[in-house]
Amino acid sequence: MDVLASLSLGFSVVLTPTNLLFCFIGVLLGTLVGVLPGIGPVATIALLLPLTFKMGPASAVIMLAGIYYGAAYGGSTTSILVNIPGEAASVITCLDGYQMARQGRAGPALGIAAFGSFIAGTVGVLGLMLFAPVLGRAALSFGPPEYFALTVLGLTLVSYLAQGSMTKALIMAVSGLLAGSIGADPVSGAERFTYGSLTLGDGLGLVPVAMGMFGIAEVLDNLSLTAGRDIYERKIKGLLPNRKDWKDSFWPIIRGSVTGFFIGILPGPSGTMSSFASYAMEKRLSRHPEKFGTGVIEGVAGPESANNAATAGAFIPLLSLGIPANIVMALFVGALMIHGIQPGPLFIKNHPELFWGVVASMYVGNAMLLILNLPLIGIWVRVLKIPYSILFTLIFLFCLIGVYSLNNNVVEIYIMITFGIIGFIMRKTGFEGAPFILALVLGPIMETSLRQSLIISRGNFAIFFTRPVAAVLMVLSFVFLLTSVIPVFRSQRAKLAAEIAE
Amino acid sequence: MRRTDYISAVTLLALALAALLEASKLQFGRVSAPQAGFFPLVLAVFLAIFSLIFLAQAMGLPKEKPGASRGRSATWNKIVLAIAALVVFGVLFESLGYIISTFLFIVFLLRAVERQKWSLVVVVAFFTSLATYLVFGLLLNTPLPGGILGL
């Protein structure tokens, strides 16, 4: 089936009233939670996951995908207007976006963020369309050693790219893997570390852990800071960027889209990483790097495009390899499995209507966001005026209902609270949550593939280095590990991290 | 050495040793035919190694200025109260039912943690618990416990 025929199949799936409605609900909700700091796509998708069990699989995935890329859109609005990033991915937009707003140029900043996101979203979808099937076909020949090597590389990369000490990140990754081994052994079914708890018998749930570590921990952290919020009050006029704005933003948007897409394929918090990388790149390529941070439009256009392209890229490992690259993608696995659909190399072949339907829905959703967001900015600003004391109560409540509604199990509420406390302590001591969560997601895949590989090779670890694909992936992982240990390279990595964080 | 890093390193090391002990109780199998205990044991060893490296790094760091990061008691109070509210909500949720426990939860957070005015607290708590019940319980069919109200 060629691409055009496939796409028209996809559009025939999306352009039904029901699916259009779910796409709309998805992007609208996504933008709303993107605007609200402290509640993100993870909590929202967890809340709506039980609801999707009753929908058709296509409607479910279309709506959940809409929440995911809609949140990337909404996050930028608050960065620009209030200097508070709604999502981690739009932290960097604060730098130049808020400055532009203070100079009375909030309109063009919001406008270019929306147009850039739309263009990047389209580039990302094109990339997804071209790469996912190719990778999916290649992945058909992957055996356990390749999958093991992929998970190793994923965890090494997410630790390498973590801010601060890589030792801390690796500790978090290994702890996450250990936490992932709680419950029934994926191969033999033997109980591990459950101590008689039925809830733990099914393993540590991803949703309670993620909502605790991010949702609850973030609120606790905010309670300990009591930061003042200062909303920028001035009439926003002229959302359309002028000709010069477009000229300045054109290449940053294109570069941001491409970079964002490829970073999106990598495991970990790709939205955040891609926007930081794009900002660093634009600053380096710019003829006036000293102006960055004073309100240059390139500093908004590049990163905003990058984080939207990354959301499309993140679907690739899930849909072609069956490996979720982040928590949201792991929740998608849950949404698909409920309908008896296994994401992986055979996904596109077995469920073309679903794959192309989602791809087409992303085109439609991006167009909806563009039309929707510009006129709704006023409403989002009003949402932000909700005092934090009420907002955090609501965030707590949504986390509690979200976790409970998944399995109707109060024990999962306690798991969430526990990880909320752990996440809070981690924030105070400089440990990052991302490697832990990714390890929790990848743990079972990693263990199963490791044990199968060892059985195939009769206990010989050389199997990971004699098969070409696995060998390349393993060598890459070792390169990242070693460069972070050897002092010369270590300062290089620190410099890179510092440059990004600057 | 940095005090927080030192404490975290020692805690992690203890965790690694506990995991090692617990994992060794599981069936290890052989390397050519690994069983349930194989992966956790390997992980525990890695965790111990990384924690030791971290401990060594923490000891090499310059000492932090004393008194720089003393927590203020007022904010710690808030955090402890917020966590307590979450736990109590979990305990009462199923027996009291969604609406009542949510109402009490919001009243407590707004009054005890945030010290808002009583009138505002009651109004917000009443409407939020009712509205979320309507949206989640009735509209979205989220299974919420009815509790003593039997809703």
Assign A139 to helix, strand or coil.
Answer: helix
Q: Are residues B138 and B80 in the same domain?
A: yes
**Whether residue B118 has pLDDT greater than 50:** yes
Chain A / chain B CB contacts < 8 angstroms: 152
In the prediction, which pLDDT does A449 show?
A: 92
**Whether residue A187 has pLDDT greater than 50:** yes
Task: Determine, for residues A171 and B19 on separate chains, whether the beta-carbon distance falls below 8 Å.
Answer: no
Contacts of A394 in chain B (CB under 8 A): 128
Q: How many domains does chain A have?
A: 1
Considering only CB atoms, B47 lies closest to which of A178, A401, A405, namely A178
Q: Does some domain include residue B120?
A: yes
Q: What mean pLDDT comes out for the span B8-36? A: 90
User: Which stretch of A113-122, A235-244, A259-268, A428-437 has the lowest confidence by average pLDDT?
Assistant: A235-244
* Residue range of the domain that includes B136: 73-149
Closest chain A C-alpha to B62 CA, distance in angstroms: 15
Instruction: Return residues 3-62 of B near A (CB < 8 Å).
Output: 4-5, 8, 12, 15, 19, 22, 26-27, 30-40, 43-44, 46-47, 50-51, 53-54, 57
Instruction: Return residues 80-119 of B near A (CB < 8 Å).
Output: 82-83, 85-87, 89-90, 93-94, 102, 105-106, 109-110, 113-114, 116
- ipTM, interface predicted TM-score of the complex: 0.90
- Distance between CA atoms of A450 and A459, rounded to whole angstroms? 10
- The per-residue pLDDT for range A74-99, each reduced to its tens digit, is 888 878 887 777 777 788 888 898 88
Q: Are A260 and A279 in contact (CB under 8 A)?
A: no
**Whether residue A258 has pLDDT greater than 50:** yes
Q: Are A76 and A302 in contact (CB under 8 A)?
A: no
Q: Are residues B99 and B134 in the same domain?
A: yes
Closest chain A C-alpha to B31 CA, distance in angstroms: 5
DSSP codes joined into one string, B27-84: --EETTEE-TTHHHHHHHHHHHHHHHHHHHHHHHSPPPPTTTTPPPHHHHHHHHHHHH
Q: Does some domain include residue B96?
A: yes
Instruction: Check residues A322 and A413 and name the one with the higher pLDDT.
Output: A413
Q: Are residues B40 and B79 in the same domain?
A: no
Task: Determine, for residues A404 and B53 on separate chains, whether the beta-carbon distance falls below 8 Å.
Answer: no
Q: What mean pLDDT comes out for the span A124-130? A: 85
Q: What mean pLDDT comes out for the span A382-389? A: 79
Tokens representing A203?
């393993």
Q: Are residues B138 and B85 in the same domain?
A: yes
Q: Are residues B78 and B128 in the same domain?
A: yes
Helices (H) and strands (E) counted in chain B, each on its own, are 5, 2
Q: Are residues B89 and B140 in the same domain?
A: yes
- Distance between CA atoms of A193 and A287, rounded to whole angstroms? 57
Placement of tokens 């060794």 in the chain: B24
**Whether residue A486 has pLDDT greater than 50:** yes
Closest chain B C-alpha to A179 CA, distance in angstroms: 9
Give the pLDDT band (50/70/90) at residue B150: low
Considering only CB atoms, A417 lies closest to which of B37, B54, B90, namely B90
**Whether residue B148 has pLDDT greater than 80:** no
Q: Does some domain include residue B65?
A: no
Q: Are residues B108 and B85 in the same domain?
A: yes
Judging by DSSP bridges, how do beta strands A191-192 and B29-30 pair with one another?
A: unpaired
- Above pLDDT 90, what percent of chain A? 20
Task: Determine, for residues A424 and B79 on separate chains, whether the beta-carbon distance falls below 8 Å.
Answer: yes
B132 touches chain A (CB under 8 A): yes
Q: Are residues B78 and B140 in the same domain?
A: yes
Q: Are residues B55 and B79 in the same domain?
A: no
Placement of tokens 């024990």 in the chain: A411
Q: Does some domain include residue B67?
A: no
Closest CA to A336 of A303, A358, A314, A309: A358
- Distance between CA atoms of A68 and A311, rounded to whole angstroms? 7
Task: Determine, for residues A220 and B142 on separate chains, whether the beta-carbon distance falls below 8 Å.
Answer: no
Q: How many domains does chain B have?
A: 2
Q: Are residues B54 and B110 in the same domain?
A: no
In the prediction, which pLDDT does A87 show?
A: 74
* Nearest residue in chain B measured CA to CA from A459: B32
Q: What mean pLDDT comes out for the span A378-388? A: 79
* Residue range of the domain that includes A86: 3-229+237-501
Q: Does some domain include residue B48?
A: yes
pTM beyond 0.90: no
* Nearest residue in chain A measured CA to CA from B45: A174
Q: Are residues B84 and B125 in the same domain?
A: yes
**Whether residue A144 has pLDDT greater than 50:** yes
In the prediction, which pLDDT does B68 show?
A: 44
